[in-house]
Structure 1
Amino acid sequence: MRASQLLGERYKEKPAEANLISHMLLLKGGYIRQVSNGIYSLLPPAKRVVAKIERIIREEMDSIDGQEVQMPVVMPRELWEESGRYKSIGSELVRFRDRNEHDMLLGMTHEEAAVHLSRNEAVTYNKYPFMIYQFQTKFRDEPRARGGLIRVREFTMKDAYSFHTSQKDLENYYEKCLAAYNRIFKRVGVPEVIAVGSDTGMMGGSVAHEFMLLCDAGEDTIAICNNCDYKANLEVAQARSKHKDYEEGKLEEEKLEEVYTPDIKSIDNLVSFFGLSAKNFIKAAVFAVQNSNKPLIVFIRGDLEVNEAKLKKVVYANVFPLTDYTDISLHFGFIGPLGLDTSKVDILFDKSLEGEENLVCGANKVGYHLKGFSMKRDLIPEKFYDVAKINHGDECCVCNSGTIELSRGIEVGNIFQLGTKYTMSMNMTYTDVDGERKHPIMGCYGIGVGRLMASVLEVRHDDYGPIWPISIAPWHVHICILNGHKGNVKEVAFALYEKLKELKCEVIIDDRDVNAGVQFADADLLGIPVRVIVSPKNLDNNKIEISTRDKTIKKLVEKEDAVKEILDVVNDLLKA
């Protein structure tokens, strides 16, 4: 490739709209151009990177017996009505009518299409297990498109769907896919990606993992124990339910008494008034629940907050902090668990309160709280739920000795054990060995290709541009010609270029009549791993300079040995 013919200009100035490093570098380097909010065109360098990422993913999917297919972007309403998601998903799903007034949609994910494709092809047990995968455009009308390719509306995803005749078989395959994903991220140059437990969200199912690249640009928060292997997205991370005072027997049961607390409503003010730790209070958080006329009161320990993602899974509906107090007969600031009318409100208790005593709670009476409340004596709920948000510095609930640290992360992939959510609702069955009709059990596995490219940039760059891992770099070698009008500089450079091309080396040559500063700045923005500099000064000594973009190698070699030396560096990087 000749730089003079390469489509896509590179810029010195930082684009005003870029709010992440990857977004800024992809715009400056001539990789992407915005078409609309959250919608981008890819220029040749980006397309080459994406193609290499796809090749690596394809190789790893094939290695675990994946079969590549192609499913449509546009689907009819009926498919998604079968699964129940046509109405349950909100405005993120783009719905439209075709010229025949038929309701259609743009696929944001392809579970329905995968079941539709497979249910007439795998009708007996001897077809199982199998996995199909594709690279396909998705469209999600994301309300918070940001960060270039990190959060977009239109994107390319590798999505895969496996089908099994037993839960055990799914679990075994799930582990194979998890290992394949770890290999993918290592091969594209981000081996530091970690797998964490996550929420299944709109996908459904029982078990899910997200693959997180820990970096400041991430939107997700990850809880990591510094002592054991526990890692989880904040949305599902288990909070420690007991505090040490209770476990060590320091809190004794006291008599329940009513205390006058005029205009004292917040936990902080109550802590000061009673001289107790926030852990000795019951906090009441009130939520509105989708499709319910009754408010939901969540009682939780005073030092904790409610995790809305966990709460949604418990009540099987979206929840929102209550803001409309019309016709609500609650004494806000003084709400407590005793004496509530359950015909007018729903009540839920967090696990942090289980077995606790000597607590302070609202008295459901303006200006009063109850002191000495005992969950073992005064009220024993049928069930407690883990709906608490974990905090930085909390003790790990798994090993009981490590400390939880919170880190930011970008989700670069996810895998789910879907179970029979889609095969049952869409009536996909097969004849088992015993002759019975059964629903296959599904797993699904996704990687956003463009997001992965941008995520690599978030951790593989310097102040001047990308430092692409050679496995996904747009080219392997970048030849710079300095003062090409002097002597035989251009002739030597192009001889080198043609020889490398002949040897199937991926090479780009900067043949433009521009000064060294412009060439080096553009070379930094392209981020090619190996740089070759042909200049009059070095050729006078029969030398050619070879360096690497990460600055670990810089050497002068004999002109006659240049091709071999360049290929040796390239091969060493590929092996590494």
Structure 2
Amino acid sequence: MRLSRSFLPTLRETPSEAQIASHRLMLRAGLIRQTASGIYAWLPAGLRVLRHIGQIVREEQDAIGGQEVLMPTLQPAELWKRSGRYDAYGPEMLRIRDRHERDLLYGPTNEEMITDLFGQSIRSYKELPQVLYHIQWKFRDEVRPRFGVMRGREFLMKDAYSFDISYEAAVDTYRRMMLAYLRTFQRLGVRAVPMVADTGPIGGDLSHEFLILAPTGESGVFYDGELETLDWLSDPVDISDSASLDKFFSNLTSYYAATDEKHEEGAWSQVPESRRREGRGIEVGHIFYFGTKYTRAMDITVAGPDSTPVCPEMGSYGIGVSRLVGAIIEACHDEAGIIWPDSVAPFKAVIINLKTGDATCDAFCEQLYAAAPEQFLYDDRTDRAGAKFADADLMGHPWQLIVGPRGAKEGKVELKRRATGERFELSVDEALAKVLDR
């Protein structure tokens, strides 16, 4: 993408409504624009980040046997009345009535709909387990939307739902999902700590939140300091083996970590005082096991091994895809702007032409750009070099390919690593090999 022709409207000044770093930087870097309270339009660069996060989430869901579906945003109220949640959910649910006086709602979550879809198709325990997921927009009518996409009303979410024939099988699925989440966040370049959490309106008796530790987080957290450096994925885990999953889960949960709603002073006192940590966290994922709560309420059964009708055991598993954009920025920024992890950055690199209009510089930049036009942003504007550098740092591209008259004549490019500030003078081939990892 050529910056002179792109829709990347950066801002020099910080908008007055932005209270935290991620909101400020998302507006200034041209990722989003607000259209209504708590509702945002995603501009080209922001949409690229959303898609990169979504793709990593998909790959890790697929790796544990998840199957992608796409459910509608509008749901018939009758489904929620069958489960008993229509009146219980509260004013966060946006209720709608169509021209035929039928009650609908803009889905805040999809337990009821997926349970109904499952019940229409699956008849026997032989067809289990099933893990179905989608990445879809949700709406919750927050009383006080704030902090940009961190606490918006409309948000993009991955929600998955599992169906198993027994408690033991459901717990295995829960543990596979926990492993998938840890792999997902590792690939996204952030450290999200799993913590025992409250189940909230979804219900259930087994629940973990995944939180990125940050002072701007809304959740109070208590955790063992060992979790700050522990490599949860250092040992291979066989997802088809219950014993391997049990060992992984036992090792992970042997360290104290809980949100303030589930904090237990007795257990906390057993953590060595030097390792006790208290702080704030940003919730980016939440997994639940809730057994037969929905299948029983909605009268969904399958034939068990002895042909007796059995209500399948369920779990649900959410990742806030749009919230993750803000959370990653909260964890990865400095005074100059965003510092994107390579895996989610809208572009792998920006090419900065220090003398647009100079034939040698222009030709050199075109050579670089032609190597990966879908992955590079080419700053071909006639602006001053200082403005180009400031925008490059603000937008957070992992690499900056800097081309000036002297370097272009010598066939050299200055390569800057955004995260560390390291600089290298390299040939075209050397620079491209480093940026494109080839």
After TM superposition, the score normalised by the length of structure 1 is: 0.69
Q: Kindly provide the amino acid, as one letter, of the partner of residue 555 in structure 1.
A: F
Query: Within the alignment, does 1:201 sit opposite 2:70 as a pair?
Result: no
- Aligned counterpart, 1:231: 257
1:342-421 maps to which residues of 2 (within 5 A)? 396-398=268-270, 404-421=276-293
- Contact 2:356–2:381 (Cα < 8 Å) also in 1: no
Q: Kindly provide the amino acid, as one letter, of the partner of residue 165 in structure 2.
A: T
Query: Within the alignment, does 1:123 sit opposite 2:149 as a pair?
Result: no
Deviations 1:274-327 (A, max 9, x none): xxxxxxxxxxxxxxxxxxxxxxxxxxxxxxxxxxxxxxxxxxxxxxxxxxxxxx
1:440-519 maps to which residues of 2 (within 5 A)? 440-501=312-373, 506-519=375-388
Tell me how far apart the structure 1 counterparts of residues 429 and 392 of structure 2 sit (CA, whole Å). 20
- Contact 2:75–2:105 (Cα < 8 Å) also in 1: yes
Displacement of 1:530 after TM fit?
1.2
Query: Within the alignment, does 1:525 sit opposite 2:387 as a pair?
Result: no
**Larger Rg over CA atoms:** 1
- Contact 1:396–1:402 (Cα < 8 Å) also in 2: no
SS of structure 2 residue aligned to 1:513: coil
Tell me how far apart the structure 1 counterparts of residues 15 and 128 of structure 2 sit (CA, whole Å). 51
Tell me how far apart the structure 2 counterparts of residues 542 and 399 of structure 1 sit (CA, whole Å). 58
Tell me how far apart the structure 2 counterparts of residues 60 and 403 of structure 1 sit (CA, whole Å). 32
Deviations 1:141-190 (A, max 9, x none): 01121111100100110000000000000111111110110010010110
Displacement of 1:103 after TM fit?
1.0
SS of structure 2 residue aligned to 1:86: coil
Query: Within the alignment, does 1:539 sit opposite 2:405 as a pair?
Result: no
SS of structure 2 residue aligned to 1:119: helix
- Aligned counterpart, 1:178: 178
- Aligned counterpart, 2:27: 27
Tell me how far apart the structure 2 counterparts of residues 238 and 225 of structure 1 sit (CA, whole Å). 13
Displacement of 1:563 after TM fit?
3.0
- Aligned counterpart, 2:138: 138
Query: Within the alignment, does 1:436 sit opposite 2:308 as a pair?
Result: yes
Q: Kindly provide the amino acid, as one letter, of the partner of residue 17 in structure 2.
A: E
- Contact 1:496–1:563 (Cα < 8 Å) also in 2: no
Name the count of aligned residue pairs: 411
- Contact 2:349–2:435 (Cα < 8 Å) also in 1: no
Q: Kindly provide the amino acid, as one letter, of the partner of residue 163 in structure 2.
A: F
Q: CA 1:523 to 1:87, structure 2 compared with 1: closer, same or farther past 3 Å?
A: same
Tell me how far apart the structure 2 counterparts of residues 69 and 495 of structure 1 sit (CA, whole Å). 41
Deviations 1:442-494 (A, max 9, x none): 01100010101110000111111111011011011210001122341112111
Tell me how far apart the structure 1 counterparts of residues 86 and 78 of structure 2 sit (CA, whole Å). 8
Displacement of 1:556 after TM fit?
1.0
TM-align CA RMSD: 1.6
Tell me how far apart the structure 2 counterparts of residues 151 and 53 of structure 1 sit (CA, whole Å). 18
- Aligned counterpart, 1:563: 429
SS of structure 1 residue aligned to 2:186: helix
Tell me how far apart the structure 2 counterparts of residues 532 and 68 of structure 1 sit (CA, whole Å). 38
Q: Kindly provide the amino acid, as one letter, of the partner of residue 346 in structure 2.
A: P
More helix by share: 2
Tell me how far apart the structure 1 counterparts of residues 372 and 212 of structure 2 sit (CA, whole Å). 35
- Contact 1:224–1:232 (Cα < 8 Å) also in 2: yes
Deviations 1:24-54 (A, max 9, x none): 0000000000011100000000100110100
- Contact 2:413–2:431 (Cα < 8 Å) also in 1: no
Displacement of 1:226 after TM fit?
4.6
1:83-94 maps to which residues of 2 (within 5 A)? 83-94=83-94
SS of structure 1 residue aligned to 2:148: coil
- Contact 1:546–1:566 (Cα < 8 Å) also in 2: no
- Contact 1:428–1:439 (Cα < 8 Å) also in 2: yes
Q: CA 1:13 to 1:403, structure 2 compared with 1: closer, same or farther past 3 Å?
A: same
Tell me how far apart the structure 2 counterparts of residues 8 and 540 of structure 1 sit (CA, whole Å). 31
- Contact 1:199–1:208 (Cα < 8 Å) also in 2: yes
- Contact 1:499–1:563 (Cα < 8 Å) also in 2: no
Q: Kindly provide the amino acid, as one letter, of the partner of residue 265 in structure 2.
A: A
Q: CA 1:401 to 1:545, structure 2 compared with 1: closer, same or farther past 3 Å?
A: closer
Tell me how far apart the structure 2 counterparts of residues 420 and 26 of structure 1 sit (CA, whole Å). 41
1:162-177 maps to which residues of 2 (within 5 A)? 162-177=162-177
Displacement of 1:521 after TM fit?
1.2
- Contact 1:481–1:489 (Cα < 8 Å) also in 2: yes
- Percent of matched pairs sharing the same residue: 40
Q: Kindly provide the amino acid, as one letter, of the partner of residue 200 in structure 1.
A: T
Displacement of 1:75 after TM fit?
1.0
Structure 2 gap ranges (5+):
227-253
- Aligned counterpart, 2:110: 110
Displacement of 1:396 after TM fit?
2.1
Displacement of 1:201 after TM fit?
0.9
Q: Kindly provide the amino acid, as one letter, of the partner of residue 570 in structure 1.
A: L
Displacement of 1:540 after TM fit?
4.1
Q: Kindly provide the amino acid, as one letter, of the partner of residue 412 in structure 1.
A: V
Tell me how far apart the structure 2 counterparts of residues 81 and 120 of structure 1 sit (CA, whole Å). 18
